[in-house]
Amino acid sequence: MTKNKSNTVNLVTGGAGFLGSHLIDRLMNKGEEVICIDNFFTGAKKNLVQWFDNSNFELIRHDITKPITLEVDRIWHLACPASPIHYQFNPIKTAKTSFLGTYNMLGMAKRVGAQFLLASTSEIYGDPEVHPQPESYRGNVNPIGIRSCYDEGKRIAETLSFDYKRSHNLDIKVARIFNTYGPRMLPNDGRVVSNLIMQGLKNESMTLYGDGKQTRSFCYVDDLINGLIKLMNANLHGPINLGNPKEITIIELAEIISKKLNISEKFIFKDLPKDDPLQRKPVIKEAKDNLNWTPLVDLDQGLEKTINYFKNL
């Protein structure tokens, strides 16, 4: 696919994954052209099958740790396993994806003059000593732990992005994505929402770690995609926190899901994984003020939609 001057050509890396496929749906429904790159480590073709016969869509099986040459206007760089089970499966590959993959995509953006958006993560804050987390907080990350391949990988990806901006005047945007959930999450990805729903649907005891009182803030996928699109369209580089600032304990989440599934509460407690953050809540003042963005879907609505998705799997 080459550039069509009458239309924006979007490259979405990791486009067959959870967030990537929702982003592609939104771009395709706007009538834009989309090239999806994915190596299908965690992505799935079934997430994109509705676009296979559309002339505006192209799917390329490719590992972004290897260079590729394409002509595009915008690069949405979402490729990287994001759940602990998947990014710890091959930690060296995870680090390579964040460093070499980002380096290759930034190089492409420089060559063709494309806008570049990096899907970074709240994990760059580590186990935070500042709560809630504003973009100015530099984080508390273990550089040699089992989560480091992802946490430090995303930190170097941010570094590369801003170095390309400073050195080559590249139009970069960095989104720090907090916990996001919704349809197309993988049932075996080890994330807390999918874990609890799947265990509940099987009427198994729900697994909680530590005392279950660690907190997270859950953003529904539609809201997150709105934020990414607003950021790409803004005259803004970031980093920008995108997440829902409503904080909830994991045990409260498990109680809500149990109630929605109409099952009795059954919990088992295990040791907290190493370096697992105890608190997570974004400050989204920058997104509100500069993007006019705030999450609209509350946890009750979002969980209903997510539970229905998993029921129909």
Give the residue numbers marked as catalytic. Answer: 150
Rounded to whole angstroms, how far apart are CA atoms 112 and 107? Answer: 9
Rounded to whole angstroms, how far apart are CA atoms 168 and 108? Answer: 12
Q: What Å distances lie between residue 113 and 35, 72, 75, 106, CA to CA?
A: 17, 8, 10, 10
Paired strand residues for 216: 248
Q: Minimal CA–CA distance to 135: which of 162, 164, 107?
A: 162
Cβ–Cβ under 8 Å, residues 46 and 17: no
Q: Check residue 99 and report its DSSP letter.
A: I
Cβ neighbours, 10 Å, residue 101: 24
Rounded to whole angstroms, how far apart are CA atoms 113 and 160? Answer: 16
Between strands 215-217 and 247-249, the pairing is antiparallel
Cβ-in-10-Å burial (0-12, 13-18, 19+) of 261 comes to middle
